[in-house]
Amino acid sequence: LLVLSAPAALRALPPPVAVGVLHTTRPLHTTQQSLAPVPPLPEKGGEVRHGFIPEEFFQFLYPKTGVTGPYMLGTGLLLYLLSKEIYVINHETAAAACILTVIIYGIKKFGADVAAFADKLNEEKVAAALAMKNEAMQALQTAIEEEKKEQWRVEGRTYLFDAKRNNVAMLLETNYRERLLMVYNEVKKRLDYQVAMQNLKRQKEQDHMIQWVEKNVVQSITPQQQKESIAKCILDLKALSKSAHAAV
């Protein structure tokens, strides 16, 4: 029971002090910093002379010693190392010389081709990414246009609802008339029944009365009356035949 009433009890407590307070001491979103768009990569790297000395070294020595300064420094350093045998010439030197010759020859001969190939790979990657970006933008653009068209379509909803209202009114009208017709038919049937009943009663009464009168009349004709009437009829017939003979 306590567990069930816990939410209600919690809700009844006053709200904590921190409700509605933003827990921050530094202002948010005040600078233009954002992670995108990322700045493009630099075109070329730092300059390197003779493959292993950065250009900054030559620039560093240029104000004091001019153009040949670093080379003089290099020559002097090399001679010092050799003469003091800080760099020892042994079998490793020969090996290093051969290796370096081969490497430099290879670089001079195939460097440009390899660079072009690597650049082509890079270009393909960049082109693929760019194509994806453009596709995405195009898709969003078409989505925007579709949305606008949908919004335009929505404006026609008045016509739709008018048509629907008309339909409903038509249905109601039809239903009403059907029921009206049904009521009329039913009432007519009942009235016809009553009329037929009356007619039937009248008919029956009439027939019965006629029959009764006829029966009584026939009963009342005595045999004497019958003979007299038959004799009269014969006399009438003879008179008629005479007049007929005379006419002819």
Partner 1 sequence: LPAAVLLKDTKLMDVKLGQLGSWLAMSDFTPGGITGALRRGYDRYYNKYINVRKGGLGGFSMLLAGYVVLSYVWSYSHVKHDRRRKYH
Give the residues lining the site for partner 1 (CB under 8 A).
41-48, 51-52, 54, 83-90, 92, 107, 111, 115, 119, 122
Q: In this complex, which beta carbon is closest to partner 1, that of residue 42 or of residue 223?
A: 42
Distance CA 31, CA 51 (A): 42
Least Cβ distance, residue 53 to partner 1 (angstroms): 8
Q: In this complex, which beta carbon is closest to partner 1, that of residue 44 or of residue 64?
A: 44
SS3 64: helix
Least Cβ distance, residue 69 to partner 1 (angstroms): 18
Q: In this complex, which beta carbon is closest to partner 1, that of residue 85 or of residue 155?
A: 85
Residue 150, burial from CB neighbour count under 10 angstroms (0-12, 13-18, 19+): exposed
Distance CA 200, CA 40 (A): 111
Least Cβ distance, residue 96 to partner 1 (angstroms): 8
Least Cβ distance, residue 66 to partner 1 (angstroms): 21
Backbone φ/ψ region at 27: left (φ over 0), alpha (ψ -120 to 50), beta:
beta
Q: In this complex, which beta carbon is closest to partner 1, that of residue 98 or of residue 182?
A: 98
Q: In this complex, which beta carbon is closest to partner 1, that of residue 43 or of residue 150?
A: 43
Distance CA 113, CA 24 (A): 57
Least Cβ distance, residue 153 to partner 1 (angstroms): 48
Distance CA 199, CA 193 (A): 10
Q: In this complex, which beta carbon is closest to partner 1, that of residue 60 or of residue 184?
A: 60
What the block records as the tokens of 223 is: 């045999």
Among 118, 8, 104, 121, which Cα is nearest to 52's?
A: 104
Distance CA 164, CA 157 (A): 10
Least Cβ distance, residue 54 to partner 1 (angstroms): 7
